[in-house]
Amino acid sequence: MTQHLAAPAHHPTSGTHTGWWRDAVIYQVYPRSFADGNGDGMGDLAGIRDRLPYLKELGIDAVWLSPFYASPQADAGYDVADYRAIDPVFGNLHDADALIRAAHELGLRVIVDLVPNHCSDQHDWFRQALREGPGSRLRERFHFRPGKGVNGELPPNDWESIFGGPAWTRVEEPDGNGGEAGGEWYLHLFAPEQPDFNWEHPAVQDEFRSILRFWLDLGADGFRVDVAHGLVKAPGLPDIGGSEQLKLLGNDVMPFFDQDGVHEIYRSWRRILDEYEGQRVLVAEAWTPTVERTALYVRPDEMHQAFNFQYLTTNWDAQELRGVIDGSLAAMRPVGAPTTWVLSNHDVTRHATRFANPPGLGTQLRDQGDRELGLRRARAATLLMLALPGSAYVYQGEELGLPDVTDLPDEVRQDPSFFRAEGQDGFRDGCRVPIPWTRSGSSYGFGSGGSWLPQPDSWGELSVEAQTGVPGSTLELYRAALAVRREHPGLGAGDAVTWLDAPEGVLALARDGFVCTTNTTGADVELPVPGALLLASGPVAFGEGAGGGTVVLPADSTAWWAV
């Protein structure tokens, strides 16, 4: 395999303020559920490569691939056993190389997922650390501790795992001196199969710098950094002491999240990326208490982007949306990083289903709610998102308007948190069901060998085939929106919006030569015509009002106007 640094030729190549990512639309591929090239029921790299022309035609700029590394799949690949190998279920390194090359040939960038907070319990270091027993130098690369209590039978502190249950597991020591009789405990903020690295250890730091280079050399255009806020823990691993426990998708201040020490790590990574040609990027998955804390991850010498989870968790409410939009733009402005926008990903209920349910229910829903309402709002929300300055993330299948699958039988579920008591994220399988490509056929065109999670009967009518060329379909709406965005490069540019006067429940924002109107109310709203209609998520109707031309913006819809 040869090194190739090829970046799509038409992108600028220098300057923080001209980086390709600043206004990019980045499409998240969840490899196991996108397309199955070898018919084993599980998506793979060959399947993704075959479907790249679809992504090109959709009009996105880059693809972010969730993990495909060698892994026992205890947490769908977020438990990595070897960071330099591909899991056989997804293919091999030649497939990865071929996929990156093919994407570049189409002018698409490729961002890979880096999982530095923890590895798999099958990672060589961890296995050896277990084998060597207490006192092993390799144990220092993780957080091993003796237990509390007379016989060490209690966990070293009171932290709970994000997936439910204690964040510590006691090991069987090699000499048989384990379990209740005295084994050490190790820390895992997630599943027991995901031991946390000790980021104070130089070997851990060196290893990840080397892993970065491995993927940069292979041509990756950047990294989405998993749990970027979790690597450094407060000294002494202090108890929390309260009833409030871990929440990844929350804003609580915790001794294992958002510690100031993480920033030095990202500064050192940034120096590595800057050595490479072609504008490589770092994107933080950082759940922090405030957008201002998130902005610290994207200071000029750290990462380039951070996910805007405050936006993802905002209700379908004009005032709330405006507040978060203003707050996000204001928080990023001082550090000069672009704001990002996201509505769905592989960890949360799809936004078509979130918006189908009453507000305030969180990001793990178990009910379909009012599907028609949800889809209407989802389409409107997407057009609003794509009208904002900065970069937008799209999760596979949202362009088809897919709802979450809320009725998966327990026996097919694979999300590890589903099986642990009181896990907060137990319903993530519902957004991970393989996507439908064709109206009928085996797994609706996902592959020839079925699908690792069952697809609902409604999938055929939501497929790419069923929506292609159908005016008004959600797929054609996304295609049209992304085409407009490319034709009007000003749309994603800049760091500010101008709010125009609008009736209650309506957002009207102006950008250079462009106006976006969003009606978040459940009723039609009549407005003066803002300009020439470019695109709308619902059927707008024109009329003559008292002061001239008016337009009726339907309930829960967005329209784009050229002015």
Catalytic residues: 226, 285
Rounded least distance, CB 387 to ligand BGC, Å: 27
Between residues 194 and 467, which has the closer beta carbon with respect to ligand BGC? Answer: 194
**Gap between the Cα atoms of 36 and 77, Å rounded:** 16
Between residues 143 and 346, which has the closer beta carbon with respect to ligand BGC? Answer: 346
Angstrom distances, CA of residue 258 to CA of 113, 185, 296? 19, 24, 10
148 dihedral zone (left: phi>0; alpha: psi -120 to 50; beta): beta
Rounded least distance, CB 226 to ligand BGC, Å: 5
184 and 171 in contact (C-beta within 8 Å)? Answer: yes
Rounded least distance, CB 429 to ligand BGC, Å: 11
Between residues 75 and 87, which has the closer beta carbon with respect to ligand BGC? Answer: 75
Rounded least distance, CB 501 to ligand BGC, Å: 40
Between residues 168 and 190, which has the closer beta carbon with respect to ligand BGC? Answer: 190
| Residue 206 parent element (H or E) | helix 202-217
With 0-12 / 13-18 / 19 or more C-beta atoms within 10 angstroms meaning exposed / middle / buried, residue 233 is buried
Q: Beta-carbon neighbour count of residue 9 at 10 Å?
A: 8
Which two three-digit tokens encode residue 370? 């009012």
Between residues 311 and 561, which has the closer beta carbon with respect to ligand BGC? Answer: 311
Helix/strand/coil for 37? coil
Rounded least distance, CB 161 to ligand BGC, Å: 10
Alpha-carbon torsion (237, 239, 242, 245), positive or negative? positive
Angstrom distances, CA of residue 191 to CA of 187, 234, 421? 10, 20, 12
Between residues 189 and 508, which has the closer beta carbon with respect to ligand BGC? Answer: 189
Between residues 173 and 226, which has the closer beta carbon with respect to ligand BGC? Answer: 226
Rounded least distance, CB 393 to ligand BGC, Å: 12
| Residue 498 parent element (H or E) | strand 498-499
Rounded least distance, CB 47 to ligand BGC, Å: 20
Rounded least distance, CB 288 to ligand BGC, Å: 13
Rounded least distance, CB 420 to ligand BGC, Å: 12
75 and 117 in contact (C-beta within 8 Å)? Answer: no
**Gap between the Cα atoms of 543 and 53, Å rounded:** 41
**Gap between the Cα atoms of 11 and 18, Å rounded:** 9
Between residues 281 and 559, which has the closer beta carbon with respect to ligand BGC? Answer: 281
Q: Which of 199, 224, 201 is nearest to 212 (CA)?
A: 224
Q: Which of 390, 378, 389, 484 is nearest to 59 (CA)?
A: 484
Between residues 227 and 232, which has the closer beta carbon with respect to ligand BGC? Answer: 227
**Gap between the Cα atoms of 315 and 313, Å rounded:** 7
Between residues 227 and 462, which has the closer beta carbon with respect to ligand BGC? Answer: 227
Q: Beta-carbon neighbour count of residue 513 at 10 Å?
A: 12
Rg (CA), the chain: 24
Rounded least distance, CB 548 to ligand BGC, Å: 50
Positions touching ligand BGC (CB under 6 A) are: 75, 78, 115, 190, 226-227, 248, 285, 346-347
Between residues 75 and 160, which has the closer beta carbon with respect to ligand BGC? Answer: 75
Return the biggest CA–CA distance within the chain: 88
Show the DSSP H helices in 20-82 as ranges.
45-50, 52-58
Helix/strand/coil for 330? helix
Residue identified by tokens 């009833």 is 243
Rounded least distance, CB 341 to ligand BGC, Å: 17
State which amino acid sits at residue 507: L
106 and 68 in contact (C-beta within 8 Å)? Answer: no
Closest residue to bound ligand BGC by CB: 78
With 0-12 / 13-18 / 19 or more C-beta atoms within 10 angstroms meaning exposed / middle / buried, residue 281 is buried
| Residue 26 parent element (H or E) | strand 25-29
With 0-12 / 13-18 / 19 or more C-beta atoms within 10 angstroms meaning exposed / middle / buried, residue 17 is exposed
Vertex 318 angle, CA 312 and 324, to 5° = 45
